[in-house]
Structure 1
Amino acid sequence: MNVSLLRVLLLSVLTLLFCQKVFASVVVNGTRIIYPAESREVTVKLDNLGDSPSLVQAWVDDGDVNQTADNSDAPFFLTPPVSRVESGRSQTLRILFTGTSLPSDQESVFWLNVLEVPPSPESATGSENYLQVAFRSRLKLFYRPKGLSGNANNAPALLRWRLVDDRLQVENPSDYHISFTEIRALTDQSEVILDDKGLMIAPKQTMEFVVPRSAERLRFITVNDYGGRVQHETRLDS
């Protein structure tokens, strides 16, 4: 066998073996954060379920996954930005809005980042090699102005779906962001997945999908304020 190929196979096997033992220790309570405009702050709880302490860094970005704590310009202040969470203990993050002007007639969305860096192995020395893995979680943070019309959990029922030839248009007339876990077009004999990557449609936004001409119904799952998944089904009209 080629030596280079053997090395690649060996590295792949070692990687798989290692990955089976790698899990994030610090868990963020909840799957999304709602920040009402009238609140002075919101809090997020972190739990360290691992057997050793972890160093945690947290920050908010405006949707750019490449933003870091050093270059983010999101209008939020977070404390503590860096903390050590002991095994079996919890840490509460406080998120405060800095007062930067945001739209008052619809939600704005940002992302909370929680980066966990586990400690170096106690047995490690300067002459030993070891792999240290950092885990990063990103949760949606919705800034919700006071006085928006309707209710966020009822917004999916307001979506306007319309077939135009082989195109499916969906319009969000509400003031709220709507997150999907999947969207399926249904025919008499089959189901076609239109999206299963966690699509989100913004307030007043319109999106399009390619669908079979024979599609008659639509089934989609949305996520509510509590992180629960809600299934919906509707007929498609031209």
Structure 2
Amino acid sequence: MRYGVGGYLALCLLGLIGCVSSASASVVIGGTRVVYPASQRDVSVQLMNQGDSPALVQVWIDAGDAGVTPEAARVPFVVLPPLSRIEPASGQVVRIAFTGEADLPENRESVYWLNVLDVPPLPEGDGRVPQNYMQLAVRSRIKLFFRPRGLKGNANQAPESLNWSLTAPEGGGPALRVENPTPYHVSLARLRIPSAAGYQTVPLGDRSMLDPLGSARFALPADLPETAESIEITTINDFGGRVTRTVPLAR
């Protein structure tokens, strides 16, 4: 199997434009998130090629800008190996090490993103790419949580400490406000509030991850009764599992 250098650069750009889940790629990541405890020298991530052809894989970390190139990303981590070939039905262990070259907060988690770009090989033949041939690279992107030493509480129990209240944003209309007093990020998968017709889903928008020691607001439909005493939240834990809880709603 062969890989074109010029085509590879173009494929990198294509991969940077669109992110897809790991399930859509031949090379899949062993997990939906990476947790890096500061007490460890490094953490490992398992990659597996579930396709029928070898894959060239590039791995890098960014600080939240999905459009940054691997060369331009400035993060306090080293990924080894950054580039590897994975045979079909085979795997590759990627090691992530913290360099200490950033003054990260010690009272809360920091979040980064792990990128895995799966570049398919060029078609076999005489070395010439067929006319109108399009080759696509697939990028998977998951969260990387750097967890300092000595944080209080437990990350998987952080959703239980969220403080939810019914309030009104500027301009009127009901809204949900949530305060996260914990040092951990909380990833929301679904938010529902009781209504006359049963539970009604509240759009998360771009606030599906609650920052540690932060707050957020979620707009509610104007016709929603303001008598709800609880809400249903579904969060994602360290293992990628979804946990649904019913929590009280203050006013």
What is the CA–CA distance in structure 2 between the aligned matches of 1:128 and 1:164, rounded to whole Å?
A: 59
Aligned position for 2:78: 77
What is the CA–CA distance in structure 2 between the aligned matches of 1:69 and 1:26, rounded to whole Å?
A: 18
Given the alignment of the two structures, is residue 92 of structure 1 paired with residue 106 of structure 2, yes or no?
A: no
Write out per-residue CA displacement over residues 46-88 of structure 1, whole angstroms, 9 at most, x where no aligned residue: 0001111010000000011111211000110001111111111
Given the alignment of the two structures, is residue 230 of structure 1 paired with residue 239 of structure 2, yes or no?
A: no
Greater RCO, CA 8 A, separation 6+: 2
Aligned position for 2:128: 125
Deviates more, 1:66-75 or 1:214-223: 214-223
Structure 2, unaligned stretches of length 5 or more? 1-22, 169-173
Aligned position for 2:118: 116
Task: Report the CA distance shift for 1:157/1:188 in structure 2 as closer, same or farther (over 3 A).
Answer: same
Write out per-residue CA displacement over residues 63-122 of structure 1, whole angstroms, 9 at most, x where no aligned residue: 111112110001100011111111111111010001022000100000000000000121
Aligned position for 1:16: none
Please say if residues 51 and 87 of structure 1, whose CA atoms lie closer than 8 Å, have aligned partners that are also in contact.
yes
What is the CA–CA distance in structure 2 between the aligned matches of 1:36 and 1:110, rounded to whole Å?
A: 13
Task: Report the CA distance shift for 1:215/1:139 in structure 2 as closer, same or farther (over 3 A).
Answer: farther
Given the alignment of the two structures, is residue 191 of structure 1 paired with residue 199 of structure 2, yes or no?
A: yes
What is the CA–CA distance in structure 2 between the aligned matches of 1:23 and 1:96, rounded to whole Å?
A: 27
Aligned position for 2:182: 174
- CA drift at 1:186: 1.2
Q: Where in structure 2 are the equivalents of 1:46-85 lying within 5 Å?
A: 46-85=47-86
Please say if residues 162 and 236 of structure 1, whose CA atoms lie closer than 8 Å, have aligned partners that are also in contact.
yes
C-alpha RMSD over aligned residues: 1.7
Given the alignment of the two structures, is residue 214 of structure 1 paired with residue 223 of structure 2, yes or no?
A: no
Counterpart secondary structure, 2:202: strand
TM-score, normalisation: structure 1: 0.86
Counterpart secondary structure, 1:195: coil
- CA drift at 1:237: 2.3
Structure 1, unaligned stretches of length 5 or more? 1-21
Q: Where in structure 2 are the equivalents of 1:135-154 lying within 5 Å?
A: 135-154=138-157
Counterpart secondary structure, 1:110: strand
Counterpart secondary structure, 1:121: coil
What is the CA–CA distance in structure 2 between the aligned matches of 1:101 and 1:88, rounded to whole Å?
A: 40
- CA drift at 1:127: 4.6
Greater than 4 Å deviation, 4+ residue runs: none
Task: Report the CA distance shift for 1:26/1:154 in structure 2 as closer, same or farther (over 3 A).
Answer: same
Aligned position for 2:6: none
User: When the two structures are aligned, how many residues end up with a matched partner?
Assistant: 217
What amino acid is the match of 1:89? S
What amino acid is the match of 1:121? P
What is the CA–CA distance in structure 2 between the aligned matches of 1:132 and 1:28, rounded to whole Å?
A: 22
- CA drift at 1:190: 3.2
Aligned position for 2:212: 203
Task: Report the CA distance shift for 1:35/1:147 in structure 2 as closer, same or farther (over 3 A).
Answer: same
Write out per-residue CA displacement over residues 129-158 of structure 1, whole angstroms, 9 at most, x where no aligned residue: 322110000110000001000000000000
Deviates more, 1:28-37 or 1:184-193: 184-193
